[in-house]
Structure 1
Amino acid sequence: MRRHLYLLLILCAASILGMFWACNHPSNIDEQMPDVVSYNFNIRPILSDKCYKCHGPDASKRQAGLRLDMPESAFKALKDDPNAHVLVPGSPAMSELFRRVSTNDTTEMMPPANSNLKRLTPHEVDLVKKWIKQGAKFEKHWAFVPPKVVPLPEVKDKAWPKTPIDNFILQKQEQYGLKPNPEADKERLLKRVSFDLTGLPPSLDMMDRFLADKSSDAYGKVVDELMKSPAYGEKMTLHWLDVARYADSHGYQDDNYRTQWPWRDWVIHAFNENLPYDKFITWQLAGDLMPNATKEQLLATGFNRNHKITEEGGVINEEYRVAYVTDRTNTFGKALLGVTIECAHCHDHKYDPFSQKEYYQLFAFFNQVKEPGIQSTVGGPETYAKRPMMQVTNDDVKGILKFVNKQDTGKLIVSVMGDSEVYRKTYVLKRGNYDTHGDEVQPGTPKAILPFDSSLPKNRLGLAEWLFSRKNPLAARAFVNQTWQEFFGKGIVKSSGDFGMQGDLPSHPELLDWLSVDFMDHGWDIKRLVKQLVMSATYRQSAVVSPDKLKIDPDNTYLARGPRSRLPAEFVRDMVLASSGILNKTIGGPSVNPYQPAGLWENATSGRGILANYRQVHGPNLYRRGMYTLIKRTVPPVEMAIFDASNRDQCEVKRLRTNTPLQALLMENDPTVLEAARVLATKLLQEKSTSKEKVYKAFRLIICRKPNDKEQAILDSYYNEELKAMDLQTAGKVLNVGEYPLPDNLNKVNLAAMMKVVDAIYNLEEAITKT
Structure 2
Amino acid sequence: MLRISIFLPLIVSLVLTLQCCNQGSSNEAKEEKIPEKISYNFDIRPILSDKCLACHGPDANKRAAGLRMDVEESAFRALKENPTAHALVAGKPEFSQAYLRITSKDTALLMPPPSSNLKLSNHEISLIEKWIKQGGKYEKHWAFVAPVKPAIPKVAMKEWPRNEIDYFILQKQEQKGLAPNPEADKERLLKRLSLDITGLPPTLQMMDSFLADNSAGAYDKMVDKLMQNPAYGEKMALHWLDLARYADSHGYQDDGYRTQWPWRDWVIHAFNENMHYDDFVTWQLAGDLMPKSTKEQLLATGFNRNHKITEEGGVIPEEYRMMYVTDRNDMFGKGLLGVTLECAHCHDHKYDPFSQKEYYQMFAFFNNVKEVGIESVIGGPETYAKKPLMEISNDDAKSILKFVNKQDTSRLIVSVMGDLDTTRKTYILKRGVYDAPGDEVQPGTPKSILPFNDKYPKNRLGLSQWLFDKKNPLTARVYVNILWQEFFGRGIVKTSGDFGMQGELPSHPALLDWLASDFMEHDWDIKRLVKQMVTSATYCQSAVFTKEKLAMDPDNVYLARGSRYRIHAEFIKDLVLSSSGLLNKTIGGPSVKPYQPAGLWEGATSGRGLLSVYNQDHGGSLYRRGMYTLIKRTVPPPTMGIFDASNRDLCEVKRLKTNTPLQALVMMNDPAVLEASRVLAAKLLQEKTASQDKIIKAFRLIVCRKPSEKEIEVLTAYYSKELKIMKPDVAEKMISVGEYPITKNVDRKSLAALMRVVSAIYNLEETITKT
CA distance in 2, matches of 1:479, 1:61: 36
Which stretch shifts more, 540-549 or 23-32?
23-32
TM superposition score normalised by structure 1: 0.95
Which amino acid in 2 is paired with 1:42? D
**Aligned twin of 2:475:** 475
| Alignment match, 1:580 | 580
Distance in 1 (CA, whole Å) between partners of 2:204 and 2:460 is: 48
Q: Which residue of 2 aligns with 1:726?
A: 726
Q: Which amino acid is the alignment partner of residue 85 of structure 1?
A: H
Residue matched to 1:647: 647
Give the secondary structure class of the aligned counterpart of 1:239: helix
Matched position secondary structure for 1:651: coil
Measured in 1, the distance between the counterparts of 2:246 and 2:396 equals 23
Report how far residue 135 of structure 1 moved.
Answer: 2.0
Deviation at 1:551, TM superposition (A): 1.0
Equivalent residues of 1:53, 1:350 under 8 A apart: no
Measure how far apart 1:64 and its partner are: 4.1
Distance change >3 Å, CA 745–CA 633, structure 1 → 2 = same
Is residue 2:228 matched to residue 1:228?
yes
For residue 688 of structure 2, what is the aligned residue in structure 1? 688
Q: Indicate the residue corresponding to 2:284 in structure 1.
A: 284
Taking a change above 3 Å as real, the CA distance of residues 215 and 514 of structure 1, as seen in their structure-2 partners, is same
The separation in 2 between residues aligned to 1:309 and 1:119, in whole angstroms, is: 49
Matches within 5 A, 1:271-670: 271-670=271-670
* Counterpart Cα distance in 1 of 2:71 and 2:449: 16
Tell me the equivalent position of 2:673: 673
* TM alignment of 1:150-161, pairs within 5 A: 150-161=150-161
Change (3 A) 1:104 1:281: farther
Deviation at 1:57, TM superposition (A): 4.3
Question: Residue 298 of structure 1 aligns to a residue in which SS?
Answer: helix
Equivalent residues of 1:29, 1:552 under 8 A apart? no
TM-superposed CA distance for 1:729, in Å, is 1.2
Q: What is the deviation of 1:633?
A: 0.7
Alpha-carbon distance in structure 2 between the residues aligned to 1:98 and 1:246: 51
The aligned counterpart of 1:70 is: 71
Q: SS where residue 499 of structure 2 aligns?
A: coil
Aligned residue pairs total 748
Q: Distance in 2 between matches of 1:133 and 1:765?
A: 53
Note the alpha carbon deviations across 1:434-489, whole angstroms, 9 max, x for none. 11111111111111100011121000000000000010000000000000000000
Q: Give the C-alpha shift of residue 138 in structure 1.
A: 1.1
Paired residue secondary structure (1:427): strand
Paired position in structure 2 for 1:4: none
Matched-pair contact (CA < 8 Å) for 1:362–1:444:
yes
Indicate the SS of the match to 2:83: strand
Q: Does 1:702 align with 2:702?
A: yes
1:188 has 2:188 as partner? yes
Amino acid at match of 1:66: L
Q: Which runs of 5+ in 1 are unaligned?
A: 1-22
Q: Name 1:36's counterpart in structure 2.
A: 37
Aligned in 2, Cα 1:299/1:137: closer, same or farther, shift over 3 Å?
Answer: same
Task: Provide the rounded CA distance (Å) in 2 between the counterparts of 1:234 and 1:120.
Answer: 49
Provide Cα deviations, 1:703-754, integer angstroms capped at 9, x if missing partner.
0000010111110000001011112111111111000000231100011110
CA contact (8 A) 1:639 1:666 kept: yes
What is the percentage of aligned positions where both structures have the same residue? 70
Q: Structure 2-normalised TM-score?
A: 0.95
Q: Which amino acid aligns with 2:624?
A: R
In the alignment, which residue of structure 2 is the partner of 1:7?
none
What does the per-residue CA deviation read over 1:105-144, in whole Å, with 9 as the maximum and x for residues that have no partner? Answer: 6655545667x78454454333323322332111111101
CA RMSD of aligned residues (A): 1.9
1-structure distance, mates of 2:634, 2:480: 32
The structural deviation recorded for 1:34 is 2.7
The one-letter amino acid paired with 1:334 is K
Partner Cα separation in structure 1 for residue 86 and residue 432 of structure 2: 37
Distance in 1 separating the partners of 2:234 and 2:531: 16
- Contact kept, 8 Å, 1:153 with 1:168, in 2: the verdict is yes
Question: Corresponding residue for 1:10?
Answer: none
SS in structure 2 at match of 1:74: helix
Partners of 2:31 and 2:123 within 8 A in 1: no
Q: 1:26/1:210 Cα in 2 relative to 1: closer, same or farther (>3 Å)?
A: farther
- Secondary structure of 1:737's match? coil
Partner of 1:11: none
| Cα distance, 1:372–1:74 mapped onto 2, change above 3 Å | same
For 1:47, give the aligned amino acid: L
SS class of match (2:464):
helix
2:85 maps to 84
Partner residue, 1:237 = 237
Q: 1:694 is aligned with what amino acid?
A: K
Larger RCO (CA under 8 A, 6+ residues apart):
1
Change (3 A) 1:109 1:445: farther
Could you tell me which residue of structure 2 aligns to residue 750 of structure 1?
Answer: 750
When residues 393 and 117 of structure 1 are mapped into structure 2, their CA distance, relative to the original with a 3 A threshold, is: farther
Q: Quick one: structure 1 residues 162 and 410, their matched pair in 2 at CA, closer, same or farther if it must change by over 3 Å?
A: same
CA gap 1:562/1:313 in 2 versus in 1, 3 angstroms: same
CA separation of 1:456/1:593 partners in 2, compared to 1, >3 Å: closer, same or farther? same
**Contact map agreement 2:727 2:749 (CA 8 A) in 1:** yes
Determine if contact 1:492/1:512 at 8 Å carries over to the other structure: yes
